[in-house]
């Protein structure tokens, strides 16, 4: 495998002619409901670069939606997964088990917060992990209600669609949704009516009041929250919010589930984002960054909760596939060896510095309403000049201008007005700065 040169290179229009040809085939063969941010077909990817079939090299500020934190062809992931592929591709852990699965669960017990006894179960996708966390919490508490939050995202399966806040594009026309899912407020500092400084205390009080009065705490099996909300707009709940909710869960025998599918595995500069306020969740769901791009997810948590589901009650044909487990062990090894938490912290420092400078020096810099996020999970919320009115068209136009210049960026947010940056944690600092230069120039095209 030859390493991909870590440099941006634009040699055709983006998308180029070969991508355009492939896109025509794709439109004829692939269901219209499956979208793509940018119809540029990938030839190879690694480090901070995605190389397309026309020979363009894009700076990757997306990591395939926060997945390839170690890069898309990390040496240890490729080595371990290739070796496993040659040994055996599958037996089904429920038929004859293998060591890799056990080793991933051991690593999860070591890396996740808290020094209590922990166990894990492995699955394929993030949504599947969330579904199983709910199953386990219901089995343990013998209760049914599930509490989720405004702006939350948990997946596209029936239960997780119901748990996801945003209608378009995730839910529209796909109901009816699973019952016993209740949504309460979250401390969205930037948009909290009485100001960010009050958001933690007020939002947690409101959420607890709604749970107590509208559902009844005794009926709640699980409270599920992303410690940094991802698809909803990279919202860090204002300080004090998560501890208050976690304490309320503890006081009422409710299983507190941290959905760290997007924020986990060094993404925010800590192994898990909930560590920031010292939260020890009862259960934690992981996926995305866990296996360097191979499909794997997990539910990890207190042994007595994890063991509440009866023998044979959890599983699935492919859950904890041996190749994916080998990839995860390679990804975790890379995170430790390269200190990817440290790298993520440095990315935050560079990005927030540059973005703050853009906000103050660019003629239209005041459309950057908020700069937020942690580690390599950073975003800007775009608004109409002089207001807090969401400006989704500005986010879309900026993304488009970046794409044309060979920088992959993504949008998100309930109002579609957030431009988010999720570079692989292994990206070089020069490339990081070049990507930021392109973002800065993109403001000139608005």
**What are all long-range contacts of 187-191, with beta carbons under 8 Å and residues at least 24 apart?**
187/237, 187/238, 187/240, 187/241, 188/150, 188/151, 188/233, 188/235, 188/237, 188/238, 189/235, 189/236, 189/238, 190/235, 190/369, 190/370, 190/372, 190/381, 190/388, 191/388
Q: Tokens 């495998």: give the residue.
A: 1
- Which residue stretch of 258-266, 326-334, 343-351, 416-424 sits at the interface with ligand PLZ (rule: CB under 6 A)? 258-266
Nearest residue (CB) to ligand PLZ, 65 versus 201: 65
Whole-angstrom distance, CA of residue 395 vs CA of residue 374 = 20
- Encoded one letter per residue, x for contact with ligand PLZ by CB under 6 A and - for no contact, window 268-307 reads -------------------x--------------------
- Which residue stretch of 69-77, 124-132, 317-325, 334-342 sits at the interface with ligand PLZ (rule: CB under 6 A)? 124-132
Nearest residue (CB) to ligand PLZ, 133 versus 438: 133
- Name 337's Cβ contacts closer than 8 Å, sequence gap at least 6: 76
Helix, strand, or coil (residue 389): coil
Closest CB 127 distance from ligand PLZ, rounded Å: 3
Counting contacts by CB under 6 A, is residue 246 touching ligand PLZ? no
- Name 232's Cβ contacts closer than 8 Å, sequence gap at least 6: 150, 151, 152, 153, 165, 166, 226, 412, 413, 414
Q: Compute the C-alpha angle 428/113/93, nearest 5°.
A: 90
Counting contacts by CB under 6 A, is residue 261 touching ligand PLZ? yes
Closest CB 107 distance from ligand PLZ, rounded Å: 19
Whole-angstrom distance, CA of residue 159 vs CA of residue 294 = 24
What are phi and psi for residue 407, nearest 5 degrees?
Answer: -125, 120
Q: Cβ distance 72 to 428 under 8 Å?
A: no
- Which residue stretch of 121-129, 207-215, 328-336, 353-361 sits at the interface with ligand PLZ (rule: CB under 6 A)? 121-129
Counting contacts by CB under 6 A, is residue 126 touching ligand PLZ? yes
Nearest residue (CB) to ligand PLZ, 56 versus 417: 417
Nearest residue (CB) to ligand PLZ, 157 versus 212: 157
Q: Cβ distance 297 to 123 under 8 Å?
A: yes
Nearest residue (CB) to ligand PLZ, 155 versus 200: 155
Q: Cβ distance 298 to 324 under 8 Å?
A: no
Counting contacts by CB under 6 A, is residue 131 touching ligand PLZ? no
Counting contacts by CB under 6 A, is residue 127 touching ligand PLZ? yes
Beta-sheet pairing, 368-374 with 145-149: unpaired
Closest CB 158 distance from ligand PLZ, rounded Å: 12
Task: Name the residue number minimizing CB distance to ligand PLZ.
Answer: 126
In the chain the first and final C-alpha atoms are separated, in Å, by 41
How many residues touch ligand PLZ under the rule CB under 6 A: the total is 16
Helix, strand, or coil (residue 284): strand
- Encoded one letter per residue, x for contact with ligand PLZ by CB under 6 A and - for no contact, window 41-80 reads ------------------------x---------------
Nearest residue (CB) to ligand PLZ, 84 versus 262: 262
Whole-angstrom distance, CA of residue 221 vs CA of residue 252 = 10
Closest CB 261 distance from ligand PLZ, rounded Å: 4
Whole-angstrom distance, CA of residue 133 vs CA of residue 119 = 12
Nearest residue (CB) to ligand PLZ, 16 versus 423: 423
Whole-angstrom distance, CA of residue 200 vs CA of residue 210 = 16
The binder of ligand PLZ chosen from 19, 56, 120, 125 (CB under 6 A)? 125
Q: Per CB under 6 A, which of residues 312..351 are in contact with ligand PLZ? A: none
Nearest residue (CB) to ligand PLZ, 224 versus 355: 224
Structure tokens at 151: 């702006």
The binder of ligand PLZ chosen from 47, 113, 230, 319 (CB under 6 A)? 230
Counting contacts by CB under 6 A, is residue 226 touching ligand PLZ? yes
Q: Which residues bind ligand PLZ (CB under 6 A)?
A: 65, 125-127, 130, 153-156, 226, 230-231, 259, 261-262, 287
């Amino acid at each position: 495998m030859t390493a991909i040169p870590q440099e941006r290179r634009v040699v055709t229009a983006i998308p180029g002619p070969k991508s355009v040809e492939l896109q025509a085939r794709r439109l004829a063969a692939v269901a219209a409901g499956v979208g793509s941010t940018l119809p540029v077909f990938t030839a190879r990817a690694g480090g901070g670069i995605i190389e397309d079939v026309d020979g363009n090299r894009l700076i990757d500020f997306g990591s395939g939606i926060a997945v390839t934190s170690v890069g898309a062809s990390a040496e240890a992931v490729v080595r371990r997964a290739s070796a496993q592929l040659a040994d055996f591709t599958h037996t089904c852990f429920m038929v004859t088990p293998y060591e890799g699965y056990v080793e991933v669960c051991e690593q999860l017990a070591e890396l996740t917060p808290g020094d209590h006894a922990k166990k894990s179960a492995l699955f394929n996708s993030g949504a599947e992990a969330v579904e199983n966390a709910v199953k386990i919490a219901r089995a343990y508490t013998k209760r049914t209600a599930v509490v989720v939050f405004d702006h939350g995202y948990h997946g596209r399966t029936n239960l997780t669609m119901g748990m996801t806040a945003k209608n378009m594009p995730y839910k529209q026309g796909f109901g009816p949704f699973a019952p016993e899912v209740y949504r309460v407020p979250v401390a969205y500092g930037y948009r909290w009516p009485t100001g960010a400084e009050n958001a933690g205390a007020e939002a947690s009080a409101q959420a607890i009041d709604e749970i107590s009065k509208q559902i009844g705490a005794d009926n709640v099996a699980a409270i599920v929250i992303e410690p940094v909300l991802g698809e909803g707009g990279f919202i860090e709940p204002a300080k004090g919010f998560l501890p208050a909710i976690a304490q309320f869960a503890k006081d009422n025998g409710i299983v507190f589930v941290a959905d760290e599918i997007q924020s986990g595995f060094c993404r925010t500069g800590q192994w898990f984002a909930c560590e920031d306020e010292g939260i020890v969740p009862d259960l934690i769901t992981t996926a995305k960054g866990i296996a360097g791009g191979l499909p794997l997810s997990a539910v990890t948590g207190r042994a007595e909760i994890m063991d509440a589901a009866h023998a044979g009650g959890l599983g699935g044909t492919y859950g904890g596939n041996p190749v994916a487990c080998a990839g995860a062990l390679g990804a975790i090894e890379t995170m430790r060896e390269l200190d990817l938490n440290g790298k993520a912290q440095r990315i935050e420092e560079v990005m927030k510095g540059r973005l703050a400078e853009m906000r103050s020096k660019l003629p239209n810099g005041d459309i950057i309403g908020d700069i937020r996020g942690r580690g390599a999970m950073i975003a800007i919320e775009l608004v109409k000049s002089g207001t807090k009115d969401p400006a989704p068209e500005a986010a879309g136009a900026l993304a488009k201008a970046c794409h044309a210049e060979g920088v992959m960026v993504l949008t998100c947010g309930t109002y579609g007005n957030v431009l988010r940056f999720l570079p692989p944690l292994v990206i070089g600092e020069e490339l990081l700065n070049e990507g930021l230069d392109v973002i800065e120039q993109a403001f000139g095209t608005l």
